[in-house]
């Protein structure tokens, strides 16, 4: 079985006032950490989408061994998944979609999903809800090409058109850095502070070196 990992990193962050991809995280950057987690999964192919912050990301994050798909219009709502499908290896049986601001997803979660999925669509079911990573078999690629935004990825999961395998994952959904408060919580594991974090939260600049159900 040939598996392609797809890490979504093209959307911008106007509410943060700075590229979320370059936020400091564990001695590096948030997006760099998410890519490292994806690399640990040992995908047969790893594809990432980049948007308006692409040049800065190329300068500061290690993208070696990664197929990069430029999607500069993703910040206006366009789906970066659509051009990414053209980069997916023709041998791929499907794609595992991960989020670039969610570095806590583990390889164990990814491969539990891949091992247990029994339908064209698979989604992880955490204690607090359903979330990424998600699986889409090659037979869904044509439908995914009609997405208008990356957020619309959930439409084929929820509209009842296709059977979906929901694979249990341990614990709550790994946190994301969707706001300054969420980023603070991601770093500390404590309730977010009411005030915004300063832009010094950007990483310092330096050369980059349980059960399954089907519905």
Residue 35 maps to which CATH number? 3.90.550.10
pTM here?
A: 0.85
Lowest mean pLDDT among 26-40, 125-139, 183-197: 183-197
Instruction: Confirm whether 215 is domain-assigned.
Output: no
pLDDT for 139 equals 95
> How many separate domains does the chain show?
1
- Whether 213 has a pLDDT exceeding 50, the answer reads no
Which residue matches tokens 């037979």? 139
Tell me how far apart the alpha carbons of residues 55 and 25 are, in angstroms, rounded to a whole number.
Answer: 20
Please report whether residue 214 resides in a domain.
Answer: no
Mean pLDDT of 99-116: 94
Q: Which domain, by its residues, includes 82?
A: 3-209
Least confident residue range of 74-83, 114-123, 155-164: 74-83
Asked if 31 and 61 touch (Cβ cutoff 8 Å), the reply is yes
What pLDDT shows up at residue 19? 86
The DSSP bridge pattern shows strands 67-70 and 94-99 to be unpaired
Which tens digits make up the pLDDT trace of 135-158? 999 999 999 999 999 889 999 999
């Amino acid at each position: 079985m040939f598996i392609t990992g797809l890490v979504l990193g093209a959307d911008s962050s106007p509410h943060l006032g700075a590229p979320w991809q370059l936020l400091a995280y564990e001695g590096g950057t948030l997006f760099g950490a998410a890519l490292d987690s994806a690399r640990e999964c040992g995908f047969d192919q790893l594809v990432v989408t980049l948007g308006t912050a692409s040049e800065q990301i190329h300068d500061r994050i290690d993208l070696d061994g990664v197929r990069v798909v430029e999607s500069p219009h993703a910040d206006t709502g366009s789906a970066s998944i659509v051009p990414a499908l053209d980069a997916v290896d023709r041998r791929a049986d499907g794609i595992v979609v991960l989020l670039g601001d969610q570095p806590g997803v583990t390889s164990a979660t990814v491969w539990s999903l891949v091992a247990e999925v029994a339908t064209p669509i698979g989604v992880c079911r955490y204690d607090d809800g359903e979330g990424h990573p998600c699986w889409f078999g090659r037979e869904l690629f044509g439908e995914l090409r009609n997405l208008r935004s990356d957020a619309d990825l959930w439409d084929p999961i929820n509209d009842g058109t296709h059977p979906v395998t929901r694979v249990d994952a341990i614990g709550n959904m790994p946190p994301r850095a969707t706001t300054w408060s969420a980023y603070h919580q991601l770093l500390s594991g404590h309730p977010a502070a009411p005030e915004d974090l300063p832009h010094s939260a950007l990483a310092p600049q330096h050369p980059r070196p349980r059960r399954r159900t089907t519905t």
